[in-house]
Amino acid sequence: MKNLVITLIFIFLTQFTYSQDILDGIPRDGAYDKDIRDGGKDRMIQDYQYVRESDVMWSTKIERVIDLREKMNQVFYYPLSPINDRQNLIDVLTQAIQEGSITAYGNATNDDEFQSPMSPSEVANIGLNELGLQPVEIEEIEDPETGDALLDTTYNNFSDYTHNVKSYRIKEEWFFDKQRSVMEVRIIGICPVIDRYDDDGIYIGPSSLFWVYFPEARKILSKSEVFNHRKNDAARLTYDDIFHKRFFSSRIVKESNKYDRSIRDYKEGIDALLESEKIKEEIFNLEHDLWEY
């Protein structure tokens, strides 16, 4: 009898909650509410382990390129238009920049040390200018009710440049912490890159848009949901999870060196790919050689 009463109460509460959603005009797109759709209020950022300078016995800075045309990396590119619970990475970053939640840094091709902060309007224009599209227009209009002057901003072809982001540059630092005897990596910055073409449609080359300081962006990325490539909607990931767990494919294009040059400056074609694999293998062997078996 007791179990029957509990079951009836549970059914009543379930039906009441569902009916309440309908009465409030909030149709639920799913069988249950997901906290991440409400801004991810309960989601916590996984803090990095504190590292002392004296405990770092070796470190090197690495720059990678994440190519969104690779199947594993398509979660960064899709969906092309925002849906109720997902946005592609460039939309997440640009929206946060426009809201003032994170800061973008310019002169991205030559400066990866976050020395040139950009305003939101500069960020909105930079991609359009690179593609040869009409930039943001700001015009003054009159409020028909009060007669006050208002600034109206029109973002022309803004989506065109976000869809042209086909890769990301990732700046990170690898280090060995002798206190914990672990090799770790910390992502420092993210830079979206677009492909440039001339008026005849001939490919010119990649163009870096802006840098975003990754530790600052984590609070936004941890609330931005990503499709789980294992096709489990009950275990969605966030962009912060993707980066933290290294669920992406990339190639190394630069390692810190005395010349401050990239691999493409001294290797081409297949030799550049082999050099990238050589650097990755050296990092792996360094950690492996510190242990005895």
Q: What is the pLDDT of residue 282?
A: 93
Q: Kindly report, residue by residue over 183-196, the tens digit of the pLDDT.
A: 999 999 999 998 88
Instruction: Read off the tokens for 172.
Output: 């990170």
pLDDT greater than 90 at residue 42? no
Stated as kind and residue range, the H or E segment containing 5 is helix 2-23
Q: What is the pLDDT of residue 244?
A: 92
Identity of residue 110: N
State the pTM of this model. 0.79
Q: What is the pLDDT of residue 157?
A: 45
Q: Kindly report, residue by residue over 15-38, the tens digit of the pLDDT.
A: 544 444 554 556 766 666 666 544
The domain ranges of the chain are: 1-33, 38-117+165-289
Pair 138, 151: CB distance under 8 Å: yes
Q: Kindly report, residue by residue over 105-116, the tens digit of the pLDDT.
A: 999 988 999 999
**Rounded to whole angstroms, what are the CA distances from 71 to 62, 250, 273?**
23, 12, 19
Instruction: Read off the tokens for 245.
Output: 């767990």
